[in-house]
């Protein structure tokens, strides 16, 4: 088949493809109101790649009264052009993503339509800016409605005018109402970026988290120390070196840094599709091992720092404390103090629903893994016990049943779902399988709440398929 030579040609193919696979075509949801205000079927908080995949899956199921909101401005959603400090994605270029298996919607199709098939073949990794542009294009051609610059506040229960449960979400553009709300809020989605308290206590001029906006130019000629040996820690070290830092010292707690990427191992259909259906002890065993290893850094990332003679990797040297001394930061380690002009914590995130404004009215009643499952002593992990224990539909469950029953209409699609569902459906390797599954969790709730109406519609359904020939009917 000839490859489209332009995006316009590709978009024509997409329109045809989507029409060819539009079955089942019938709309099935009814517009609702709450005190005179329209109610969305689904409000997705976040408009990163996870939200795009999920919104597309919902649209294909004819759930079209949806909206994504994102506090970021247009084009700034997700990590790609803000705090992701690597030149390319870490996912392989041939993984399908939000396209949900529609060939013309894949990254490869988008790339080839602009730069040709040979260019895609020659590409090693997808430049992150290209990925960002692709996501924006995807959102347009897939018809996903997004409002940027809109922040979500504390979700609370409400009712539609005909008595169905719905949720009210205060936002910077006024309250939004929806029957289902999805948190697709990314890495810090149901918690916060985390660094040890002793770093937090230092003045901000001496330390930052790897996800913060950092003025790397100001680090020229300075001594920088980075805590953590995950991919983002290395990326930040690399940018500091490239910006002309005098020395960059990266400190790894382990005797040997993690160079295995378990997400590569688990990227197969059985795991991605079925882990969530397995007993808790197996879910815990697999995911605590995977998340316990943390993110191994890729070869290109290592090469990027290693070409600098002023890069130093300290292994088996955790930080146990820190203080300010004579305008510098001094970190304490089992092998003695270390002084630097600036510290960067590549220490990831921590699950903590209390830190999420959208969950202010229910954070204390969200069931966590630690509430539902006690791992064997050898597999204990306090950090992972704080992940939410989600329903099979991907929604929050109550710790104390009956206190906040409305949280069953708040779904989570992102890294916080990892302990319950395996690799976050919002990462590229998992989304082709995870997004339709998450959409099905949402449609199940909508369908179930609509049963009385749908049954009444079935009983009222009176569209004849044929006109009977009265003359041929035998009535005696």
Ligand X SMILES: Cc1cc2nc3c(=O)[nH]c(=O)nc-3n(C[C@H](O)[C@H](O)[C@H](O)COP(=O)(O)OP(=O)(O)OC[C@H]3O[C@@H](n4cnc5c(N)ncnc54)[C@H](O)[C@@H]3O)c2cc1C
Segments in 308-408 forming alpha helices (H)? 369-372, 382-385
Which of 13, 41, 77, 409 is the binder for ligand X (CB under 6 A)? 77
Out of 65, 427, 432, 443, name the contact with ligand X by CB under 6 A: 427
Of 17 and 133, nearer to ligand X (C-beta) is 133
Q: Which is nearer to ligand X, 191 or 385 (CB)?
A: 191
In a 3-state reduction of DSSP, which class is residue 457? helix
Token duo for residue 427:
């990462």
Nearest distance, CB of residue 16 and ligand X, angstroms:
28
- CA dihedral sign of residues 358, 213, 345, 196: negative
Residue 58 binds ligand X (CB under 6 A): no
d(CA 387, CA 267): 21
Member of 152, 181, 237, 435 binding ligand X (CB under 6 A): 152
233 binds ligand X (CB under 6 A): no
Residue 426 as a binder of ligand X (CB under 6 A): the answer is yes
What is the 8-class DSSP label of residue 88? B
Residue numbers 273-332 binding ligand X by CB under 6 A = none
Write down how long the chain is: 476
- Contact status: 46 vs ligand X (CB under 6 A): yes
Is 79 near ligand X (CB under 6 A)? yes
CB of 43 vs ligand X, minimal distance in Å: 10
Asked whether 302 and 230 are in contact (CB, 8 A), the reply is no
Q: How far is CA 359 from CA 149, 178, 260, 266, 352, in A?
A: 19, 15, 35, 31, 10
Stretch that binds ligand X, among 74-82, 107-115, 214-222, 384-392 (CB under 6 A): 74-82
Q: Is residue 179 within 8 Å of 42, Cβ to Cβ? A: yes
Q: Is 443 in the site for ligand X (CB under 6 A)?
A: no
Nearest one of 435, 410, 454, 439 to 62, comparing CA atoms: 439
Stretch that binds ligand X, among 85-93, 397-405, 443-451, 466-474 (CB under 6 A): 85-93
SS3 287: helix
> Judged by CB under 6 A, does residue 45 bind ligand X?
yes
Residue 422 near ligand X by CB under 6 A: no
Query: Judged by CB under 6 A, which stretch of 82-90, 138-146, 248-256, 275-283 contacts ligand X?
Result: 82-90
Which CB sits closer to ligand X, 177 or 184?
184
Among 9, 151, 280, 324, binds ligand X (CB under 6 A): 151
241 touching ligand X, by CB under 6 A? no
Residue 428 main-chain phi, psi, to 5 deg: -60, -40
Task: Looking at residues 1 to 40 of the shown chain, list those that interact with ligand X (rule: CB under 6 A).
Answer: none
Element (H, E) at 338: strand 338-340
In the complex, what is the shortest distance from the CB of residue 324 to ligand X, in angstroms, rounded to a whole number?
Answer: 28
Residue 420 interacts with ligand X (CB under 6 A): yes or no: no
Do 274 and 422 form a contact (C-beta atoms < 8 A)?
Answer: no
Minimum distance from residue 211 beta carbon to ligand X (Å): 7
Q: In the complex, what is the shortest distance from the CB of residue 145 to ligand X, in angstroms, rounded to a whole number?
A: 15
Is the CA virtual torsion 468, 470, 472, 476 positive or negative? positive
* Residue with nearest beta carbon to ligand X: 48
Nearest distance in Å: CB 335, ligand X: 29
Instruction: Return the number of the residue (427 or 443) whose C-beta is nearest ligand X.
Output: 427
Strand ranges inside 17-145, DSSP E: 32-34, 37-45, 66-70
Rounded to the nearest whole angstrom, what is the least distance from the CB of residue 34 to ligand X in the complex? 21
- Least Å distance between CB 411 and ligand X? 13
Cα separation, 419 vs 345, whole angstroms: 24
Kindly state the tokens that stand for 466. 């044929």
Question: What is the size of the binding site for ligand X (CB under 6 A)?
Answer: 30
Beta carbon nearer to ligand X, 29 or 345: 345
155 neighbors 410 (Cβ within 8 angstroms): yes
Instruction: Indicate whether 91 belongs to the interface with ligand X (CB under 6 A).
Output: yes
Site for ligand X in 154-213 (CB under 6 A): 184-187
Determine the Cα–Cα distance for residues 192 and 209; give it in Å rounded to an integer. 11
Q: What is the DSSP-derived secondary structure letter of residue 379?
A: G
Tokens of 262: 């378990």
Whether the upstream peptide bond of residue 101 has omega within 30° of 0, thus cis, is: no
User: By the criterion CB under 6 A, which residues form the site for ligand X?
Assistant: 45-51, 69-72, 77-79, 84, 89-91, 151-152, 184-187, 232, 358, 414, 426-428
């Amino acid at each position: 088949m000839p490859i489209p030579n332009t995006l316009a040609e590709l978009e024509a193919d997409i329109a045809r493809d989507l029409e060819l696979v539009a079955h089942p075509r019938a709309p099935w949801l009814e517009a609702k109101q709450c005190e005179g205000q329209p109610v969305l079927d689904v409000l997705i908080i976040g408009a990163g790649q996870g939200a795009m995949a999920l919104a597309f899956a919902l649209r294909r199921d004819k759930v079209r009264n949806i909206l994504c909101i994102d506090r970021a401005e247009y084009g700034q959603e997700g990590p790609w052009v803000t705090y992701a400090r690597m030149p390319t994605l870490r996912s392989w270029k041939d993984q399908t993503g939000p396209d949900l298996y529609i060939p013309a919607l894949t990254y490869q199709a988008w790339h080839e339509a602009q730069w040709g098939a040979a260019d895609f073949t020659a590409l090693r990794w997808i430049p992150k800016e290209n990925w960002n542009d692709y996501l924006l294009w995807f959102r347009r051609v897939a018809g996903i409605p997004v409002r940027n610059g809109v922040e979500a506040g504390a979700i609370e229960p409400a009712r539609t005018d005909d008595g169905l449960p719905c949720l009210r979400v205060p936002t910077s553009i006024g309250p939004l109402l929806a029957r289902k709300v999805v948190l697709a809020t990314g890495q810090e989605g149901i918690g916060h970026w985390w660094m040890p308290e002793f770093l937090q206590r230092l003045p901000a001029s001496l330390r930052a988290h790897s996800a913060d906006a950092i003025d790397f130019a100001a680090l020229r000629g300075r001594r920088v120390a980075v805590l953590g040996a995950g991919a983002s820690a290395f990326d930040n070290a690399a940018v500091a070196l490239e910006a002309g830092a005098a020395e960059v010292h990266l400190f790894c707690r382990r005797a040997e840094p993690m160079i295995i990427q378990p997400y590569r191992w688990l990227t197969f259909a059985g795991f991605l599709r079925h882990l969530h259906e397995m007993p808790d002890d197996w879910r815990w065993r697999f995911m605590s091992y995977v998340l316990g290893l943390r993110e191994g850094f890729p070869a290109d990332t290592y090469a990027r720092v290693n070409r600098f003679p002023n890069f130093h990797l300290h292994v088996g040297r955790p930080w146990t404390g820190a203080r300010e001394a004579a305008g510098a930061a001094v970190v304490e380690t089992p092998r003695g103090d270390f002084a630097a002009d600036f510290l960067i914590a590549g220490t990831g995130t921590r699950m903590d629903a209390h830190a999420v404004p959208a969950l202010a009215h229910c954070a204390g009643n969200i069931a966590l893994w630690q509430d539902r499952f006690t791992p064997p002593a050898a597999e204990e992990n306090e950090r992972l016990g704080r992940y939410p224990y989600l329903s099979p539909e991907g929604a929050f469950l109550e710790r104390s049943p009956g206190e906040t029953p409305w949280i069953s209409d708040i779904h989570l699609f992102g890294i916080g779902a990892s302990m319950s569902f395996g690799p976050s459906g919002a990462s590229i390797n998992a989304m082709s399988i995870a997004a339709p599954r998450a959409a099905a969790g949402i449609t199940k709730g909508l369908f179930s709440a609509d049963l009385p109406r749908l049954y009444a519609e079935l009983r009222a359904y009176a569209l004849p398929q044929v006109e009977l020939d009265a003359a041929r009917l035998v009535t005696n």
